Amino acid sequence: MATPKQLLVAGGGIGGLAAALACARQGWQVCVFERAAAFSEVGAGVQLGPNVVRLLQAWNLGTALRAVAAFPERLRVRDAASGQPLATLDLAAMPARYGAPYATIHRADLLALLHQAVAPRADTALALDRRVLGFEDDGRRVLLRTEGKAIDGDALLGADGLWSGVRTQLLADGPPRLTGHLAYRALLPQATLPAALRSAEVTAWLGPRLHLVSYPVRGGEALNVVAFVQGLPPGGARGATPDALADWDHATNAADLQAAMAGCCTPLQDLVRAVPAWRLWVLADRPPLRAASEQARGRVALLGDAAHPMRPYLAQGAGMAIEDAEALGRALRQADTAGIEVPTLLARYALERWQRNARVQARALRNGRIFHATGPIRWGRNLSLRLLGEQLLDMPWLYGPQQPAR
Ligand code: FAD
């Protein structure tokens, strides 16, 4: 039997652990290097469309997911100023339509789910407290330099997030761009909320120049609330230095958010006032990659936010990282079954992924403009949502099965 090939993964976030699982399942030996001292995600939620849940189920994580996630039956869109309902999407119909439900989950629960699947595997090693410093690809092997020591492998995956060092070395492009949007996030135990504020649904309250999304996590025990507003971080643009941004999480002032939401309807202001402490994210992204050759070169490939950091307005950033992972595993399987060279397999992975990722990035950007619309555009948006509702909110191209690349 051939010796298993070795994949080195920089970064042990949702993307890195998903890739480790997907590639180990296809017979690769995987080693993940994470700079943090623990595999952890901050206290906030993440929505997973049926396109993502389908993959988790195929990895035998369906039961574990059911134990920790919530499965809201409806997405409800409302106008943030008037409180008027605009449209609904029947999420309960997703299993029949797309073969998997729509899930909402605490990030830590999603990471734990992946970690529990990866950690016991003999073909996977997880190294904490190991910052990746750089790599050398000599065409035959790739050498990864980490704090402590260097290690070589057949392929390197940069899953090191928005500020990816692997990407910087591979593409020599500049830093991510500030979007001028801030995200305030909070997690509320539903039992502590007045009955009128508890919710088992996904609710999106739209604009002007802001929107707010809430949904249940932890089987419905907690309500995840995230408010997006246009503005600068504390300290203005100077407070948004790469170092400050790389930390992502900032202590913040609830008064700023309440002031930004002064024109919103009473139920929405009540919800915002019910939050005892917010955490602030300064949102940054990158334009889509211009070609597949930017997502993989030689023996090095990028995945997740390292490849395509996007605005969170389609709720698919982690989803695309998980889709990347599945496509990478499928591509790498051919190293043994068809004897194809690793750089060719990575190029196939990139070819399969980059256009879809670019489309999702573009759609997320457009959603932000629509969600935050003012004046006549806001009026047109509300009318379209009232008239076309479900047709606009449902996205078969996103949630349905993918056509494999030729
Ligand atoms: P990351 O989560 O950033 O992980 C990168 C990992 O690499 C980290 O653990 C980091 O410590 C490590 N690392 C970095 N540098 C090094 C180094 N030099 N050496 C070793 N390790 C390193 N997505 C959805 O699908 N649905 C949603 O509803 C959703 N909502 C969102 C809401 C907000 C407000 C935001 C900001 C994002 C949202 N996203 C959502 C997007 C999603 O969070 C990201 O796309 C996803 O977490 C990216 O995962 P990743 O593994 O690629 O990167």
Chain segment 249-296, per-residue pLDDT in tens: 445 567 888 889 999 999 999 999 999 888 888 899 999 999 999 999
CA distance 225 to 227: 7
Q: Ligand 1 pocket check: which of 46, 52, 214 to mutate, most ligand atoms within 8 Å of Cβ? A: 46
Which pLDDT belongs to residue 406? 47
- What positions carry a catalytic annotation? 215
Which pLDDT belongs to residue 250? 47
Which pLDDT belongs to residue 246? 46
**Strand boundaries in 257-365, DSSP class E:** 279-285, 296-297, 300-302
Of all protein residues, whose CA lies closest to atom 50 belonging to ligand 1?
Answer: 15
How far is C-alpha 360 from the chain's CA centre? 11
Cβ contacts of 367 within 8 Å, gap of 6 or more: 311, 313, 314
Query: Hey, what domains does the chain have and what are their CATH numbers?
Result: 1-37+128-175+287-368 (3.50.50.60), 42-106+177-285+373-405 (3.30.9.30)
**Ligand 1 centre distance from Cα of residue 47 (Å):** 14
Stretches where the chain sits below pLDDT 70 are 1, 232-253, 403-406
Which pLDDT belongs to residue 249? 47
CA distance 124 to 28: 9
**Residues with Cβ within 6 A of ligand 1?**
10-16, 33-36, 46-47, 131-132, 159-162, 165, 183, 226, 281, 283, 304-306, 312, 315-319, 321
Closest CA to 297 of 147, 171, 149: 171
Which pLDDT belongs to residue 3? 84
Cβ contacts of 393 within 8 Å, gap of 6 or more: 75, 77, 87, 88, 89
Which pLDDT belongs to residue 280? 84
pTM, full prediction: 0.96
Which pLDDT belongs to residue 63? 98
Q: Which residues pair with 6 in a beta bridge?
A: 29
Which pLDDT belongs to residue 403? 66
CB atoms within 10 A of CB 9: 32
Chain segment 353-390, per-residue pLDDT in tens: 999 999 999 999 999 999 999 999 999 999 999 999 99
Q: What is the ipTM of this complex?
A: 0.99
Q: Which residues pair with 136 in a beta bridge?
A: 143
Which pLDDT belongs to residue 243? 53
**Ligand 1 centre distance from Cα of residue 279 (Å):** 16
